[in-house]
Amino acid sequence: MDRMNWTEIEFILQGFSEYPRVEKFLFVMCLMMYLVILLGNSTLIILTLLDSRLHTPMYFFLGNLSFLDIWYTSSFIPTMLIHFLSQKKTISFTRCVVQMSVSYTMGSTECVLLAVMAYDRYVAICNPLRYTIIISKALCIQMVALSWGLGFLNSLTETILAIRLPFCGKNVINHFVCEILAFVKLACTDISLNEITIMLGNVIFLFSPLLLICISYIFILSTVLRINSAEGRKKAFSTCSAHLTVVTVFYGTILFMYMKPKSKDSAFNKLIALFYGVVTPMLNPIIYSLRNTEVHGAMRKLITFL
């Protein structure tokens, strides 16, 4: 078959088209969750910028995480919502590539950023007297820049390898978004190199940060258990409980997707991917706001000001 030009290619995102009633239900649920994502994460960003009590490394990283979640979800949820109510579920080659590269950048960046946040909690609990010296403003900016840079580099590599593939006619993506592996499987050539680079990228950006997070929390746990008072241990645990919860939800969903037995039920696999893509970013601001007196105080101050 002849290779098609980019301008001629239009993909069909199959999504949940075989379940029209489910699509309408998912439209309502995803719309509500997307609004919570925008409101919750935007509020956290505003609070970390306006309230001087939140001008600390932990909230600087949290602000970046919130910004990242807004961009990640905005790269695919609006299009997905339109497709839930539309008979025509098509997307151009260019839009598909942009959606794929943006979501891949944000996903890779979040993995590294969660490891950076774990290191911040490690220093805060295991070396509190030198915390402000070690976690300086310059280091915070450097670590965040490194997170975004590595995420962008990983996405750029995968995207360039993907768009160089020839496409000869197959255009149905069995997903609700332009997921990179589903995208490359439509190519009419050998995709072994793409599959290897995707696998290597997953190992580097999923499991390497997870290993660093686990090592950080081993040292944190060891330090906390040596604290004599129960009140001191409780206070130490409370400073990292939100981050630990976010990591558990984030990596728990990913590990379930990758390590569960292969299922012929593609709808179930898509629902798990939808949970990862929509529910996790919605939970992040909620988790960091619950039982957080600093955020509550900043919120009350903002409401009073308004």
Q: Where are the domains of the chain?
A: 8-299
| Cα gap 40→52, rounded to integer Å | 19
The highest-confidence range among 35-39, 176-180, 273-277, by mean pLDDT, is 35-39
What pLDDT does 3 receive?
53
pLDDT band with cut points at 50, 70 and 90 for residue 178: confident
> What CATH superfamily classification does 8-299 receive?
Rhodopsin 7-helix transmembrane proteins (1.20.1070.10)
pLDDT higher than threshold 80 for residue 32: yes
Q: Exposed, middle or buried by CB within 10 Å (0-12, 13-18, 19+), for 96?
A: buried
Residue 176, helix vs strand vs coil: coil
pLDDT higher than threshold 50 for residue 37: yes
Among 33-47, 91-105, 178-192, 248-262, the minimum mean pLDDT is found in 248-262
Q: Average pLDDT of 98-116? A: 93
Predicted TM-score (pTM) of the model is: 0.90
Q: Average pLDDT of 273-286? A: 87
What pLDDT does 275 receive?
84
> DSSP string spanning 265-298?
-HHHHHHHHHIIIIIHHHHHHHHHHTT-HHHHHH
| Cα gap 89→83, rounded to integer Å | 5
pLDDT higher than threshold 80 for residue 203: yes
